Amino acid sequence: MKTRIIVAAVLLPLFFAALFFFPPYILAVVISVIAAIGSYELFKASNNVLAPKDNIPAPMRPVVYTIIIAALIPLAVYYSNLLLASAALMQAVSILTIFFILLSLLVIDFLLNPKSVKRIRLRQLPVIFVAALIIPYMLSSLVGLRMLPSGHLLVLIPIIVTIVTDSGAYFTGVAIGKRKAFPNISPNKTVEGYIGGTIAGVASLLIYGFILDLATQHVISYPVLILYGVIGSVLTGFGDLVFSWIKRKCGVKDYGNILPGHGGILDRFDGMIFSAPAMYLFVVILPAIIQQ
C-alpha cells in the first residue's frame, strides 16, 4: 500500500501537468507512450494463450508492428485535430491509413513466411487489432478532448471520474464490501464497491463543476454532470471488469510491473479506455461545461 501511494503521489501530478498545463502535443506524446506500453502488455499477457500446442513460441514480429502502430494512433489524432475545419474527416483518413499500413505489414509478413514455423499465427490477429488500433484510439479521446475549446478543463472530466470511481470502489469494498459482484471474473469486486465507486464518481464531477462555477466564466449544467458521472463510473467499472476477465483467461495477476504497487499500464488505464471516449462524445453532443 505504501509503494502504491508513493507511486501515485509522484506520477499523478506529472500526468495532470501533461493534461492541464502543457501544450496538447505533450499529451499526445504521453498517450502515445502509454498506448505502446499497453499494447505490449496485452501481447505479453496473452502469450500463453497464443502459444501453439507444438510449443513453438509465437513470433515477436507482430508485437513490434503493434507497438509501432499503437504509438502512431494518438499522434495521428493530434495532427488531425489541428485541422479544425475537417478534423473528423482527417482523423478518419489518418486512422484508415494507419490500418492499411498495419494490414500491409501483416500481409507482407505472411507472404515472406507462408510455411515457416515463424509465421504469424491466426489467433494473434484479434490481439494485434485490439492492441494496435482499438485501445490506442479509445485512449486518444483524451487528446481530442484536450484540443477542444477549453480543452484543459474538459480533459479532466474522464480523468477525475475514472480515478475517483476506482478509489471509491476500492475503499468502499474494503470497508463494507460483502456481496461479490462477479466472483468468477474478479473475486475482489463487490456490489457495495461498485455502488460506492459510482456515488464517488458522480460526487467528484459535481465538486469539479462547482469549482469551475466559482473560478471561471463557464456555465455549468449540474444535471448533465450527474449524467457524466453515472455513465463514466459505470464504464470505468465495465472496463476494469473486461480487462480483469482477459487477465483471468490469460492466467496472469497483473499486466506488468512498470508501476510498482499498481501493476502495468493496462491495470491503471483499463477503466479510462472505456470512459474517455464516452466522455468525449458526451462533451461534444451534450456539453455540461459551456463557454460564455
- Greatest Cα-to-Cα distance within the chain, rounded to the nearest angstrom: 67
**CA–CA separation, 41 vs 46, rounded Å?**
9
Q: Give dist(CA 284, CA 116) in Å, integer.
A: 49
- Residue 134: closest CA among 281, 257, 276, 285: 276
**How many other CB atoms sit within 10 Å of the CB of residue 53?**
5
Question: What is the tally of structural domains in the chain?
Answer: 2
At residue 193, what are phi and psi to the nearest 5 degrees? Answer: -65, -45
Which residues 6+ apart lie within 8 Å of 105 measured at CB? 65
Phi, psi at 180, each rounded to 5°:
-70, 130
In this structure, the answer to whether residues 125 and 178 fall within a common structural domain is no
Q: Are residue 103 and residue 153 in the same domain, yes or no?
A: no
The cell for 154 is: 474538459
Q: Which residue has the higher pLDDT, 227 or 103?
A: 227
- For position 255, what pLDDT does the model report? 85
Could you tell me the residue range of the domain that residue 275 belongs to? 149-292
Alpha carbons 116 and 106: distance in angstroms, whole number: 14
- Using pLDDT thresholds of 50, 70 and 90, give the confidence band for residue 236: very high
225 and 268 assigned to the same domain: yes
Could you tell me if 47 and 142 lie in one domain? yes
pLDDT at 225 over 90: yes
Amino acid at 270: D
- Stronger pLDDT, 228 or 7, i.e. the higher one: 228
**Which of 121, 147, 173 is where one domain is finished?**
147
Question: Do 158 and 277 belong together in one domain?
Answer: yes
Residue 85, domain member (yes or no): yes
pLDDT tens per residue, range 81-129: 776 555 566 677 777 788 888 888 888 877 777 666 566 777 778 888 8
What is the Cα–Cα distance from 53 to 123, expressed in whole angstroms? 12
pLDDT digits (tens, 9 = 90+) for 184-212: 777 788 888 899 999 999 999 999 999 99
Strand partners of residue 220:
289
Looking at the structure, do residues 175 and 97 belong to the same domain, yes or no? no
Find how far residue 236's CA is from the centre of its chain. 10
17 within domain boundaries: no
Burial letters for 193-227: b for 16+ Cβ neighbours within 10 Å, e otherwise? Answer: bbbbbbbbbbebbbebbeebeeeeebebeeebbbb
Query: Among 59, 247, 248, which residue's Cα sits nearest to residue 256?
Result: 247
- pLDDT, residue 13, reads 75
Average pLDDT, stretch 56-67? 78
Give the predicted TM-score (pTM) of the model: 0.88
Pair (42, 111) in one structural domain: yes
Is the pLDDT assigned to residue 232 strictly greater than 60?
yes
Question: What is the predicted pLDDT for the residue at 175?
Answer: 86
Q: What contacts 258, CB < 8 A, 6 or more positions away?
A: 37, 264, 265
Q: Is residue 19 part of a domain?
A: no
pLDDT at residue 32, rounded to an integer = 94
SS3 of residue 188 by DSSP: strand
Mean pLDDT of the chain: 84
Would you state the pLDDT for residue 183?
78
Higher-confidence residue of 82 and 152: namely 152
Per DSSP, the three-state class of 123 is: coil
In contact, 278 and 53? CB cutoff 8 Å = no
**Which whole number is the average pLDDT over 275-292?**
90
For residue 172, is it within any domain? yes
